[in-house]
Amino acid sequence: MKKNIGTVIGYYLICFTLAVIIYSFLFPYGGAAVTLHRIYFGLIVLSAIIVICTCIILEEIQNLKEELLKLKDDSKEEKLNDLSE
């Protein structure tokens, strides 16, 4: 969740503070800078969704790795038990 909040805040600051300074030099009379804020807000939401989905996928991969390691350890123990009998 911290990654998601950091991404949203960081992207917001870049789009609405740093980009405004750049736009003022590129479009000195306003122009496209005013109308693009809705698009940038959509990009902020999209970046948040990407971060959330990536975190969920990484957690699932970690869970699958742990399950596979447990299965591998269990199968080794069974083989050792069969050999010792």
DSSP assignment of 4-64 equals HHHHHHHHHHIIIIIHHHHHHHH-TT-THHHHTHHHHHHHHHHHHHHHHHHHHHHHHHHHH
Q: What is the pLDDT of residue 18?
A: 78
Lowest mean pLDDT of 32-36, 71-75, 76-80, name the range: 32-36
Q: How many domains does the chain have?
A: 1
Q: pLDDT by residue (tens digit) across 42-59?
A: 787 788 888 888 988 999
Q: How many other C-beta atoms can be found within 10 angstroms of the C-beta atom of residue 57? A: 10
Q: What is the pLDDT of residue 51?
A: 85
Q: What is the pLDDT of residue 84?
A: 66
Domain encompassing residue 31:
2-84
Length of the chain: 85
Largest distance between two CA atoms of the chain: 86
